[in-house]
Structure 1
Amino acid sequence: MSGAVRRALRVGLTGVLAVGAALLGPAHVPTATAAGTSDVPAPPARSVVTWAAAADRMGDAGGDRSYRLIVRTTVGGTGLRVRVSNVFGDRPLVIGRAYAGIRESGARLRPGSNQKLAFGGSASVTLAPGEIRYSDPLPGRVAAMSDLGLSLYVREAGGPATGHAMALRTSYATSGDHAAEERDGAYTQRLGSWFYLDAVTVEADRGAGAVVTLGDSITDGWQSTTDKDLRWPDFLARRLHASPESTVRGVANAGISGNQVLADGAAQSALKRLDRDVLSLPGVRTVVLFEGVNDIKAHSGVTAAALTTGYREIIDRSHAAGLCVVGATVLPFKGWSEWDLEEEAVRAEVNEWIRTSGEFDAVADFDEVLRSPYDAQRILPTFDGGDHLHPNDKGMQAMADSVALTALECDRGALGR
């Protein structure tokens, strides 16, 4: 994605769940302390991530606002928790109230579904700069493939917000405290980003696990249709949900636009954010690593040797955490403004290493799936989103359909860690 498009997406803050009426007993979770690279609190035992979005630094925050954030579950279960984040904040964030309900349409929630969340038994929570917290669990069961409306009343905030700029999912905001309301009348502001929320977990059925897709704007879904859940990880989630053999059910999208493996830029590098955005998520068995095109096309002189060294570090750290790693080949991008033959040579060398090095537990050959048979340096036009770098909806589906579901069934013992 171009820098201009990404900056335009970085809007500022001003710019089926059946639950009982009572919460389960309070559960305090340790908190993180250091901004940006803080330790993430340990996830609750037996939890599996059902939704996630990589956190990033957003525009300036403001208080006395309610956010109704729309997210879609992938794996079902009981004991829903949300993970809220002030990782990129430079001052305390006060969430006055938080609720979770089932979305009917727009910002409207299913009547009777909106239930109060608590944090250590308290309705409000204050997050220090760099801090991440899990809510207490809600009773009842949340179904897979459900649209949730997660409402946060931010009582006090300032400085940079923490969130995810390119949601490709419409959420909503309003002034004042409207978190408990199920009707949509107050939520007049439409948002294209998520704020302060970076994960949702459930207590899934025994033996269920999750996969994390670690990537850049292609994984984040740029050029896929907004509000239709047509990113390639969404297609993958639907395949897993429909497969009676698969025990991997959860899909966490850790794509972030502009991301590079080695260098910070539009976001922290994949190496820096790996612990927070991937390894800290509960129930994860496998990582699909699909990064590298932004390193290659940055004209920074990155070599194939440097990039594969970065891959090796991600593989080693993931293996140490008990996860398998599937390596995805880098897509062709001839026709993109930054393409040249020198960068193409690096891409070809990197892809050969991914396919043949044996470093990965499995390979997803997205390059082979999407490239043109008439010019292997280009995306096939039927899969091209129009900028010759990002796939369209058909391309996203083709990528997801090419992933061997058996490759996600990791046996390294990560589940339940």
Structure 2
Amino acid sequence: MNLHPADPGRRTLLAGLTAAALAGLPAFTASAAPALPAAARAADSRHDVVTWAASADRLGDGAADRAYRLVVRTSVGGDDLRIRLTNALGDRPVTFDSVRAGIRRQGAALVPGSNRRLLFGGSPSVTVPAGGTVTSDALPGRLPAATDLVVSLHSPDAAGPASGHGMAMQTSYLAQGDHTAEDGADGWRATTGSWFYLDSVSVRAAASTGAVAALGDSLTDGWQSSSDLDRRWPDYLARRLRRAGSAVQGVANEGISGNKVLADGAGRSALNRLERDVLTQPGVRTVFVFEGVNDIKAHSGVTAQDMIAGYREILRRAHAAGRCVVGATVGPFKGWSEWDPAAESVRQEVNAFIRDGGEFDAVTDFDRVLRSPYDHERILPFFDGGDHLHPSDKGMQAMADAVDPAVLDCA
């Protein structure tokens, strides 16, 4: 058990994996990796890599004797699954007496035989301290990439502020009482659009395999993309990296709707959550920063120089932690209610720094990808999700297509 300070029907499996699970095999795949002699293990040089993540914020109050069946999509595949539970916004400890991981069949139903108990320091129960996180023991067996993983958890005593991710763009399920061990969906009659208490999943992969963490706001969180279809731009990026055979295969979506670089509000600011959400995620090689529009359009007196100072602080801290940083320009939002020429002037100055300042290790120019050729202050109508700020599915895909996989494999 590792303690850290504050620190939805579609295909769910490869055909071979489905057949194996239906045959009642105990692991995620037909066979787990064989045990290696000590010398071979030492030469194996594998490490943990984040395969899914979502930033924690407050989700109302927790409820005792409630169970959650949370559906998440893996990016990189690997062995020895671990999950991280969060109580980052809690004001008291919260106990989980049953936590399981399985493969989704359809809805809340799991592939029979795939639902396995997770342990924490060898125990089936774990208490997460207020403001903290806890990482599970490794679960032997292989978890493939692009899989609907289901984490089921039950708390007998949850109360006070609940931690989790509000805008999941994914249907998960609720139950009263402990139904975590059930493969079927009968006990899971309520749905939720949030992920409760779960903030990341990692797997063991080759040392050459890395991950990118996307630090962002609602455009990264996926607002205006299609729910239950994994069409946020980081989802498209994960598929692109997999097809390209990139060394960077893990993608952690650390976007929070409404988030700002400088000020807390919709979640802690990017500066205040950088360590918790990005730098503590295993295997992250590169930080992809796409934030700033909420600071700019809020008209709170934030200047371009304020924003640049914030980006420089992210760069300083990420570099000190041995990570590279890719900066993305702030997209157009003319037509959104908070747009005006003054905000546009700040956006242009900020983008000039990101694009031409030479301080980021690499730049992805989302502004040029998204803007209309006839009015550079507006999003191209074909990419507009409808509110003149958030991209549609097509816009999300265009953003992912603009990211050069080579710049993510950063030394």
Divergent runs of 4+, >3 A: 16-24
Aligned to 1:216: 217
Q: CA–CA distance in 2 between the matches of 1:266 and 1:71?
A: 22
Q: Give the CA deviation at 1:154.
A: 1.3
Aligned to 1:375: 375
Is residue 372–residue 380 contact of structure 1 (8 Å, CA) maintained in 2?
A: yes
Which letter does structure 2 place at the counterpart of 1:364?
A: T
Aligned to 2:84: 83
Aligned to 2:294: 294
Q: Give the CA deviation at 1:206.
A: 3.2
Q: CA–CA distance in 1 between the matches of 2:170 and 2:248?
A: 24
Q: Give the CA deviation at 1:276.
A: 0.3
Aligned to 1:308: 308
* Residue 218 (structure 2) pairs with residue 240 (structure 1): no
The within-5 A match list for 1:225-264 is: 225-244=226-245, 246-264=246-264
Is residue 332–residue 371 contact of structure 1 (8 Å, CA) maintained in 2?
A: yes
Q: CA–CA distance in 1 between the matches of 2:347 and 2:175?
A: 45
Is residue 20–residue 139 contact of structure 1 (8 Å, CA) maintained in 2?
A: no
Aligned to 1:366: 366
**SS of 1:46's equivalent?**
strand
Is residue 330–residue 351 contact of structure 1 (8 Å, CA) maintained in 2?
A: yes
Q: Give the CA deviation at 1:188.
A: 0.5
Q: Give the CA deviation at 1:356.
A: 0.7
The within-5 A match list for 1:186-205 is: 186-205=187-206
Which letter does structure 2 place at the counterpart of 1:83?
A: R
Aligned to 1:12: none
Is residue 58–residue 89 contact of structure 2 (8 Å, CA) maintained in 1?
A: yes
Aligned to 1:386: 386
Is residue 262–residue 269 contact of structure 1 (8 Å, CA) maintained in 2?
A: yes
User: TM-score scaled to structure 1, two decimals?
Assistant: 0.88
Is residue 27–residue 142 contact of structure 2 (8 Å, CA) maintained in 1?
A: no
Q: CA–CA distance in 2 between the matches of 1:195 and 1:277?
A: 16
Percent of aligned pairs with the same residue?
A: 63
Is residue 47–residue 206 contact of structure 2 (8 Å, CA) maintained in 1?
A: no
Q: CA–CA distance in 1 between the matches of 2:291 and 2:300?
A: 16
Q: CA–CA distance in 2 between the matches of 1:282 and 1:159?
A: 29
Kindly report the root-mean-square deviation, in angstroms, between the aligned alpha carbons of the 2 structures: 1.6
Which letter does structure 1 place at the counterpart of 2:167?
A: M
**SS of 2:399's equivalent?**
helix
* Residue 130 (structure 2) pairs with residue 168 (structure 1): no
Which letter does structure 1 place at the counterpart of 2:60?
A: G
Is residue 102–residue 150 contact of structure 2 (8 Å, CA) maintained in 1?
A: yes
Which letter does structure 1 place at the counterpart of 2:77?
A: G
Aligned to 2:57: 56
Is residue 48–residue 250 contact of structure 1 (8 Å, CA) maintained in 2?
A: yes
Which letter does structure 2 place at the counterpart of 1:163?
A: G
Q: Give the CA deviation at 1:116.
A: 0.5
Is residue 27–residue 114 contact of structure 2 (8 Å, CA) maintained in 1?
A: no
* Residue 353 (structure 2) pairs with residue 353 (structure 1): yes
Q: CA–CA distance in 1 between the matches of 2:331 and 2:159?
A: 39
Which letter does structure 1 place at the counterpart of 2:247?
A: T
Q: Give the CA deviation at 1:20.
A: 3.8
Q: CA–CA distance in 2 between the matches of 1:181 and 1:158?
A: 24
Q: Give the CA deviation at 1:134.
A: 0.5
Which letter does structure 2 place at the counterpart of 1:62?
A: A
Q: CA–CA distance in 2 between the matches of 1:156 and 1:242?
A: 44
After superposition, give the CA deviation of every residue in 1:347-375 in whole Å (9 maximum; x if it has no partner).
00000110111000000000001100111
**SS of 1:161's equivalent?**
strand
Sort the Cα spacing of 1:183 and 1:303 in 2 relative to 1 into closer, same or farther, 3 A: same
Q: Give the CA deviation at 1:205.
A: 2.5
**SS of 2:102's equivalent?**
strand
Tell me, which stretches of 5 or more residues in structure 2 are unaligned?
Answer: 1-12, 34-45
Q: CA–CA distance in 1 between the matches of 2:194 and 2:26?
A: 30
**SS of 2:316's equivalent?**
helix
Q: CA–CA distance in 2 between the matches of 1:127 and 1:375?
A: 51
Which letter does structure 2 place at the counterpart of 1:336?
A: W
Is residue 48–residue 283 contact of structure 2 (8 Å, CA) maintained in 1?
A: yes
Q: CA–CA distance in 2 between the matches of 1:164 and 1:398?
A: 25
After superposition, give the CA deviation of every residue in 1:111-144 in whole Å (9 maximum; x if it has no partner).
1100010000000111121121011111110000
Question: In the comparison of the two structures, how many residue pairs are matched?
Answer: 376
Q: CA–CA distance in 1 between the matches of 2:58 and 2:344?
A: 31
